[in-house]
Amino acid sequence: MDYTVQQKIWTMIWYGMHGQPKKVQIEYRKKFGRNAKAPSRKTIHDWWQKIFETGSVNKRPKTKTKWVRTQLTEAEVMAKFQS
C-alpha cells in the first residue's frame, strides 16, 4: 500500500515518542481511522532507517541538476560577462 508523506511523517513522530511499533499502530488508527491499514513493524523500522540515512521518507532519491557543458553554453556565458 502507498502511504502519503503525511502518514509517514506522523508515523515517524509517534515512533520517536513511543519507540514501539505496536503503540505507533494504535496511534495511527486513532488519527487516520479505525479501519485504516497501519504500517507493519518492518515498514516502520524501514522508514525509521531511511529517514536517518537520506533525511527523507520519500521513495525517490533526491535528484541533482545535471549540467551540460557545451561550446554554445560556454560562449553564451562568456558573452554575458563581456557585455
Question: Which cell numbers hold the place of 23?
Answer: 503503540
> Would you say residue 75 lies in a domain?
no
> Would you say residue 77 lies in a domain?
no
pLDDT, residue 57, reads: 78
Query: What mean pLDDT, rounded, does the chain reach?
Result: 86
- Gap between the Cα atoms of 53 and 34, Å rounded: 31
Name the CA radius of gyration of the chain, rounded.
22
- Gap between the Cα atoms of 29 and 49, Å rounded: 22
The DSSP output letter for 38 is P
The DSSP output letter for 65 is P
pLDDT digits (tens, 9 = 90+) for 48-73: 998 888 888 777 666 666 666 677 67
How many folded domains does the chain comprise?
Answer: 1
Range of the domain at 16: 5-54
Question: Which cell numbers hold the place of 27?
Answer: 496511534
> Would you say residue 71 lies in a domain?
no
pTM for this structure? Answer: 0.66
> Would you say residue 69 lies in a domain?
no
Provide the residue type at 48 as one letter: W
pLDDT, residue 23, reads: 96
